[in-house]
Amino acid sequence: MSSTNQWNADKYKKHADFVSNLAFPVVELLNPQENERILDLGCGDGTLAVEIEKFNAKVIAVDLSGDMVQKTKEKGIEAYVMSATGLTFENEFDAVFSNAVLHWVKEDEESIKKIFKSLKAKGRFIAEFGGYGNIKFLTDAMEEVFKKHPEFGDYDNPWNFPKESDYRQLLENNGFTVEYIELIPRPTKVDDISNWLDIFANGIVSHLTQKQQVQFKKEAREVLKPKIYSQKDGWVADYVRLRLKAYKTV
């Protein structure tokens, strides 16, 4: 069984800044208002929290990574180490905003209940994260390498990429009115797939020896190259995002 993914804020900034750079349409969907209290759930290094505070809203940021929380605090944002299923807020926020985080949360319903509880009456929940079909080439390639190497143990997929209809149902079952929800294919350029694996899949291979981890990356890269690499475009990950806007119905 793999352990939790480990986040290195500097490496993330260098090789994965596309995560926040591509999130500005989600900030637009949030449409922050002056003096609103907004929870940034899974704040990463605080890049988007800073953008939201430019609207004169007050952002409270949380992330499971202590390294990311420290980087966020250094940007002047109030931030805490906290998970999506461990939120301790109650009727506190005008909006909960989350970008590229909830696909790491397998306990969908528990996180939705905590988000609901955190919101004020009529508060809104704005999110974008990996949806059904997201990185299928990547997950298939990783699974293929594990099957080829029984000594690696079982492949433990850490992600949850829900269907639009399933997530809508969960939101509605837990007190939300869904204004908008959509699956959006978004092929995304990455600098090198080895760096992507380093950042986003390190939890999958954390139980392997250093030599096995190198072998895993090398073989996954070989499987993926004919599928998601071209001389013209470089490496393009097969991202599919689930974007939504919902309201607390009380």
Per-residue pLDDT tens over the stretch 152-194: 999 999 999 999 999 999 999 999 999 999 999 999 889 889 9
Per-residue pLDDT tens over the stretch 38-78: 999 999 999 999 999 999 999 999 999 999 999 999 999 99
| HSE toward the beta carbon, residue 137, CA cutoff 13 A | 18
Global pTM reads 0.89
Average pLDDT value for residue range 91-120: 96
Report CA-CA distances (Å) from 99 to 41, 48, 104, 222, 235: 8, 9, 11, 30, 22
Per-residue pLDDT tens over the stretch 208-244: 999 999 999 999 999 999 999 999 999 999 999 999 9
Q: State yes or no: pLDDT of 103 exceeds 60.
A: yes
Cα gap 202→212, rounded to integer Å? 12
Cα gap 49→72, rounded to integer Å? 8
Other beta carbons less than 10 A from residue 91's beta carbon: 12
Which pair of structure tokens corresponds to residue 61?
């940021």
pLDDT at 24 (0 to 100): 75
Per-residue confidence band for 17, with pLDDT thresholds at 50, 70 and 90: very low
Find the DSSP H helices in the chain.
9-15, 18-21, 24-30, 47-53, 66-74, 108-118, 136-148, 164-173, 193-200, 210-228
Per-residue confidence band for 131, with pLDDT thresholds at 50, 70 and 90: very high
For the chain, domains (ranges, CATH) are 9-135+159-191+238-248 (3.40.50.150)
Q: How much of the chain is helix, strand and coil, in % rounded to 5?
A: 40, 25, 35
**For 31, left (φ over 0), alpha (ψ -120 to 50), or beta?**
left
